Copies of this chain bind each other. A is one copy, B any other.
Amino acid sequence: MAKTKFILDEERIPRHWYNIAADLPSPVPPPLHPGTGEPIGPDMLEPLFPMALIGQEVSAEREIEIPEPVRAVYRQWRPTPLFRAHRLEQHLQTPARIYYKYEGVSPTGSHKPNTAVAQAFYNKEAGVRRLTTETGAGQWGSSLAYAAAHFGLDVDVYMVRVSYDQKPYRRALMETFGARCVASPSDETESGRAILAKTPDSTGSLGIAISEAVEKAAQADDTKYALGSVLNHVLTHQTVIGLEALEQLEQLDAYPDVLVGCTGGGSNFAGLVLPFIGAQLRGGPSPRVVAVEPAACPSLTRGKYAYDFGDTGHLTPLVKMHTLGSTFVPPGFHAGGLRYHGMAPLVSHLQALDLLEAVAYKQLEVFAAGVEFARVEGILPAPEATHAVKGAIDEAIKARESGERRTILFNLCGHGHFDMQAYTDYFAGKLKDQTYDESELAMALAGLPSVQAAE
């Protein structure tokens, strides 16, 4: 009987994160100060992040040691299993071998704790007592809540008001882990009060929630801010996914011909693919690397590679990334973790270097793929992860059509247990293929900051 899942002993949790900066042919363009257009220094980030993380953000070291206390928390669920999708292969009648790395076994059901635990640890080491963050759907907020509980830190999560009201279960999970969850806009910050003064019944936005979390962190000496994607150090923490997968496949004497992941901010995708791309840059095999994004928020396939703000409120530095424009508001599709106007600068840079390709799928086709996958593999994917599932299925069908015995590896970054409303709506026929307004996208792109010209 062929094996279904490949599990490493917890002693095999990686001892280092992989930092691809050491192997890139050219560096990721630096973040710029929006006023001066000059690269920003570490000191400008210090009010928000502990120095250890700022150091990782700009490090060129290939290996960054994972502190033992972080590995100790990882032991609760890592190494995560690598599955061989025997039943999916049979179901698709494909000669391809399909593997998936499953991050849904974590305490909050996604890859997010990989970096949340690291960030909580470094903040604790730096004497921080409280973390602030924003959350939309709640995946990140609950992961930071879990991690902070381990290290005895308080957490204030500014949760977009509409999610706060509509997703009480994610909120309950955050509260279970001991976090304080605040509906944003709130009266706890200047930025929140300013919004409420104008719009008392504001339903909030991720941009507003970021402003509140950043403002709180900047004001208090014992408080810092934590971000769940986009930044280099966040992506680096996620490389435990790919490093484990490399070792698991090595034990099988297998290597992927195609890597697939879904992209929102880019962190789960990067976590899987960076170690493989790094191996390629050092002279190893060259798998195809496919980023799958939602057609309703297609930063890699429709965005511009340009300097832009990370938030709608324009409080962040300018970063060079594939962006739909910081004023672009994606329609309300269900993969909340993929509703970001930009793409991590590091992932954007890899696309500019032709090290990955991107594809966009619509909502109904990814949900159909998610249900198909659940029926044959027994795991219900998160709406975000259904994009990767659909991408992998399409690669397997291409392999069937060409008769090639390709090896496909994708990242199943989370389960959908907290997203059942989406599946309920799908079965009730209420889901639609959301689209954005082309003229609004054009306007958002036309409004990109003028620092572009100065380049």
The answer to whether A5 touches B10, judged by C-beta atoms less than 8 angstroms apart, is: yes
The answer to whether A427 touches B149, judged by C-beta atoms less than 8 angstroms apart, is: no
18 examples of A-B residue contacts, CB within 8 angstroms = A1-B68, A3-B75, A4-B75, A4-B76, A5-B10, A5-B75, A77-B378, A109-B417, A169-B420, A169-B421, A169-B423, A169-B424, A171-B424, A172-B423, A173-B380, A175-B427, A178-B375, A418-B420
**In whole angstroms, how far apart are the Cα atoms of A109 and B415 in the complex?**
11
Closest 5 CB pairs of A and B: A169-B420, A107-B378, A417-B417, A4-B75, A172-B424
Query: Residue A22 at the B interface, CB < 8 A?
Result: no
Query: Residue A146 at the B interface, CB < 8 A?
Result: yes
**In whole angstroms, how far apart are the Cα atoms of A427 and B177 in the complex?**
12
Query: Residue A374 at the B interface, CB < 8 A?
Result: yes
Query: Residue A182 at the B interface, CB < 8 A?
Result: no
Query: Residue A105 at the B interface, CB < 8 A?
Result: yes
**In whole angstroms, how far apart are the Cα atoms of A107 and B109 in the complex?**
13
Query: Residue A371 at the B interface, CB < 8 A?
Result: yes
Which residues of chain B are within 8 angstroms of A109 by Cβ–Cβ distance? 417
Query: Residue A7 at the B interface, CB < 8 A?
Result: yes
Interface set of A (CB-CB < 8 Å, partner B):
1, 3-5, 7, 9-10, 68, 71-72, 75-77, 105, 107, 109, 146, 149-150, 168-169, 171-173, 175-178, 371, 374-380, 415, 417-418, 420-421, 423-424, 427
**In whole angstroms, how far apart are the Cα atoms of A374 and B380 in the complex?**
22
The answer to whether B427 touches A374, judged by C-beta atoms less than 8 angstroms apart, is: no
Q: How far is the CB of A52 from chain B (nearest CB, A)?
A: 22
The answer to whether A1 touches B146, judged by C-beta atoms less than 8 angstroms apart, is: no
Q: How far is the CB of A371 from chain B (nearest CB, A)?
A: 6
Q: Which residue of B lies closest to A174 (CB)?
A: B427
Which residues of chain B are within 8 angstroms of A105 by Cβ–Cβ distance? 105
Which residues of chain B are within 8 angstroms of A72 by Cβ–Cβ distance? 1, 4
The answer to whether A177 touches B75, judged by C-beta atoms less than 8 angstroms apart, is: no
Which residues of chain B are within 8 angstroms of A415 by Cβ–Cβ distance? 417
Which residues of chain B are within 8 angstroms of A168 by Cβ–Cβ distance? 420, 424
Q: Which of B9, B107, B380 contacts A379 (CB 8 A)?
A: B107
Which residues of chain B are within 8 angstroms of A417 by Cβ–Cβ distance? 109, 415, 417-418
**In whole angstroms, how far apart are the Cα atoms of A169 and B167 in the complex?**
13
**In whole angstroms, how far apart are the Cα atoms of A68 and B56 in the complex?**
50
The answer to whether B75 touches A371, judged by C-beta atoms less than 8 angstroms apart, is: no
Which residues of chain B are within 8 angstroms of A5 by Cβ–Cβ distance? 10, 75-76
**In whole angstroms, how far apart are the Cα atoms of A107 and B373 in the complex?**
12
Q: Which residue of B lies closest to A106 (CB)?
A: B378
Q: How far is the CB of A379 from chain B (nearest CB, A)?
A: 6
Which residues of chain B are within 8 angstroms of A378 by Cβ–Cβ distance? 76-77, 107, 146, 150
The answer to whether A374 touches B177, judged by C-beta atoms less than 8 angstroms apart, is: yes
The answer to whether B380 touches A176, judged by C-beta atoms less than 8 angstroms apart, is: yes
Q: Which of B3, B7, B68, B177 contacts A375 (CB 8 A)?
A: B177
Q: Which residue of B lies closest to A379 (CB)?
A: B107
Q: Given that A3-B75, A75-B4 are contacting pairs, would A374 and B424 also be in contact in the complex, using a CB cutoff of 8 Å? A: no
Which residues of chain B are within 8 angstroms of A371 by Cβ–Cβ distance? 176
Which residues of chain B are within 8 angstroms of A178 by Cβ–Cβ distance? 375
Q: Which residue of B lies closest to A147 (CB)?
A: B378
**In whole angstroms, how far apart are the Cα atoms of A415 and B418 in the complex?**
12
Q: Which residue of B lies closest to A424 (CB)?
A: B172
Q: Which residue of B lies closest to A83 (CB)?
A: B76
